[in-house]
């Protein structure tokens, strides 16, 4: 079988562009098994986590502002402090999850 120069150039360009391979040239395994984590799935999880963390940071900012406006040592102030602690805890959990997901992505 004779390959023309044009066809050879086309094959090389396809290989360099990653066409015909999943995720634009990133081949994660020879065979994908359903339920197996993929790079795209990991990136999606990281994106979702960063969105949740952004929302929590905005909530935390608003709670700090509310705490400044509330009278000190009042039930309202104590409630705001409890909510701040809960949001911080959730934010810390998400930051740890984000870091482990990032590490998982770096291993791929």
Whether the per-residue pLDDT at 45 is higher than 90: the answer is no
Whether the per-residue pLDDT at 6 is higher than 90: the answer is no
**pTM over the 0.85 mark:** no
> pLDDT tier at 43 (50, 70, 90 boundaries)?
confident
Q: Return mean pLDDT, the chain.
A: 81
- At 14, list the tokens: 């396809």
Please give the share of the chain, as a percent, with pLDDT higher than 70: 75
| Residues 94 and 52: beta-carbon distance below 8 Å | yes
Amino acid 40: pLDDT:
76
Residue 63: count other Cβ atoms within 10 Å of its Cβ.
19
Half-sphere exposure of 107 (CA within 13 A, CB side): 9
Which residues, 6 or more positions from 74, have their beta carbon under 8 angstroms from its beta carbon? none
Whether the per-residue pLDDT at 16 is higher than 70: the answer is no
Amino acid 7: pLDDT:
77
Helices then strands, counting H and E runs in the chain, come out as 3, 0
Average the pLDDT over each of 10-14, 15-19, 20-24, 90-94 and give the range with the smallest value: 20-24
**CA 81/CA 72 separation, integer angstroms:** 11
Half-sphere exposure of 61 (CA within 13 A, CB side): 6
């Amino acid at each position: 079988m004779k390959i023309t120069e044009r066809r050879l150039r086309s094959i090389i360009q396809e290989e360099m562009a990653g066409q015909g391979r999943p995720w634009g040239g990133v081949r994660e395994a020879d065979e994908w098994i359903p339920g197996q984590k993929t790079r795209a799935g990991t990136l999606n999880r990281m994106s979702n986590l960063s969105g949740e963390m952004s929302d929590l940071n905005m909530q935390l900012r608003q709670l700090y502002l509310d705490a400044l406006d509330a009278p000190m040592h009042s039930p309202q102030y104590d409630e705001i402090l409890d909510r701040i602690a809960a949001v911080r805890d959730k934010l810390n959990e998400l930051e740890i999850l984000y870091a482990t997901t990032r590490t998982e992505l770096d291993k791929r």
